[in-house]
């Protein structure tokens, strides 16, 4: 669990303790139990100041719980708010926890939460040769599933290590469908601070593998993009050291680019119910150093080396999307088997 594990205004840990549940350990994902660590920052084990409970980081020394870390536990409760993108690492933590539970004979109880990007499926499907912690399975960038639905898929498709099967118990959401536009009550991570940023995140996160800043170190991360060397078109931002971004890209340098600080419904009009390629193509065309535009991290985020080459070759959006379709169609067929809620189609 983390800072999103709330029941109205009370944290799940406090709710469980008030009901006499014997909590042995808190397992925390990327950004830590309180959700304050920078993206990608190593998070050490520790102890919760408020409750005194031990905290085991699953984004530190080990990403998968060890046998000894689960030895005194009867059941694992998984309650983390996801945002529906393949490279958002909470579903990678889910997979490792499911594997560990299966191997140690522990049950997992998932408290499901709505997916704020659960109203569409789009983007390239991951090629297994590019498997990493920011993409562990052959799913598209926008998978359109809740955490519980994805857990059922991991079990049902035998995707866990050695085809292990985790015993699951699921508490589903009421009054939620994949047509629902859901506004998160708590920021899921330090740099996703608004509904618009969460909607833009799947499309803008690919910039993390390029020369482009997505506004980390500003008041509007994932609502802007730019670079110090781009043409001054009347909009600029300057990243500084701040909460969630101790050392942001282009720290203290003025960046020029695009302002996407729009109300959520205007963002939805831009996205048109799909993963947006236009941001990436526009930034590449603005670059003065096209051969250095991409970093090695880009292919891990994209889940393949094809998208990078397509951008370099200046393929049209229609050509790029056509290349995704066969694998997207296969995934959508698999996905339907595990849906717990009415679909958007």
Q: How far is CA 210 from CA 191, 219, 302, in A?
A: 18, 21, 12
Better-predicted residue by pLDDT, 34 or 289: 289
Q: What is the mean pLDDT of residues 312-335?
A: 97
Is residue 113 within 8 Å of 173, Cβ to Cβ?
yes
Better-predicted residue by pLDDT, 288 or 330: 330
pLDDT tens figures, 204-247: 999 999 999 999 999 999 999 999 999 999 999 999 999 889 99
pLDDT tens figures, 131-183: 999 999 999 999 999 999 999 999 999 999 999 999 999 999 999 999 999 99
Sign of CA dihedral 333, 135, 160, 342: negative
pLDDT tens figures, 74-108: 999 999 999 999 999 999 999 999 999 999 999 99
Question: Which of 272, 270, 285, 275 shows the shortest CA–CA distance to 315?
Answer: 285
* Residue spans of beta strands (DSSP E) within 6-96: 6-7, 10-11, 26-28, 46-47, 54-57, 75-78
Domain ranges of the chain: 6-183, 195-314
Q: Is the pLDDT confidence value at 36 over 90?
A: no
Residue 312 CA, distance from chain mean position: 26
d(CA 162, CA 63): 18
Q: Kindly provide the b/e burial profile for residues 39-63, where b requires at least 16 CB atoms within 10 angstroms of the residue's own CB.
A: bebebeebeeeeeebebbbbbbeeb
- Give the model's pLDDT for residue 310: 97
Q: What is the mean pLDDT of residues 60-86?
A: 96
Q: Is the pLDDT confidence value at 3 over 70?
A: yes
Give this prediction's pTM: 0.95
Q: What is the mean pLDDT of residues 2-8?
A: 93
- CATH placement of domain 6-183: 3.40.50.12170
The SS3 call for residue 270 is helix
């Amino acid at each position: 669990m983390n800072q999103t594990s709330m029941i109205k205004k009370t944290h799940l840990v406090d709710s469980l303790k008030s009901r006499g549940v014997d909590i042995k350990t808190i397992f925390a994902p990327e950004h830590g139990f309180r959700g304050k660590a920078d993206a990608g920052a190593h998070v050490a084990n520790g102890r919760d100041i408020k409750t005194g409970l031990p905290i085991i980081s699953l984004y530190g020394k080990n990403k998968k719980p060890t046998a000894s870390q689960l030895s005194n536990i009867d059941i694992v409760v998984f309650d983390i708010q996801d945002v529906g993108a393949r490279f958002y690492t909470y579903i990678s933590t889910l997979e490792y926890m499911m594997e560990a539970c299966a191997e140690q004979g522990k049950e997992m109880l998932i408290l499901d939460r709505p997916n704020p990007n659960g109203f569409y499926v789009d983007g390239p499907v991951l090629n297994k040769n590019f498997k990493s912690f920011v993409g562990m399975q052959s799913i598209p960038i926008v998978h359109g599933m809740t955490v519980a639905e994805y857990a059922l898929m991991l079990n049902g498709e035998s995707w866990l290590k050695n085809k292990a099967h985790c015993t699951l118990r699921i508490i589903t959401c009421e009054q939620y469908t994949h047509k629902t536009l859901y506004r998160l009550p708590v920021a899921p991570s330090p740099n996703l601070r608004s509904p618009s940023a969460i909607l833009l995140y799947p499309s803008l996160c690919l910039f993390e593998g390029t020369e482009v800043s997505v506004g980390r170190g500003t008041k509007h991360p994932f609502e802007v993009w730019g670079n110090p060397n781009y043409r001054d078109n009347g909009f600029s931002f300057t990243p500084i050291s701040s909460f969630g971004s101790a050392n942001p890209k282009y720290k203290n340098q003025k960046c020029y680019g695009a302002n996407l600080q729009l109300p959520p419904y205007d963002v939805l009009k831009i996205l048109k119910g799909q993963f947006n390629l236009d941001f990436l193509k526009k930034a590449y065309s603005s670059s003065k150093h096209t051969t250095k535009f991409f970093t090695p991290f880009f292919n891990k985020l994209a889940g393949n080396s094809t998208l990078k080459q397509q951008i370099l070759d200046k393929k049209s959006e229609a050509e790029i999307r056509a290349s995704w379709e066969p694998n997207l169609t296969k995934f959508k067929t698999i996905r339907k088997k595990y849906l717990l809620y009415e679909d958007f189609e």
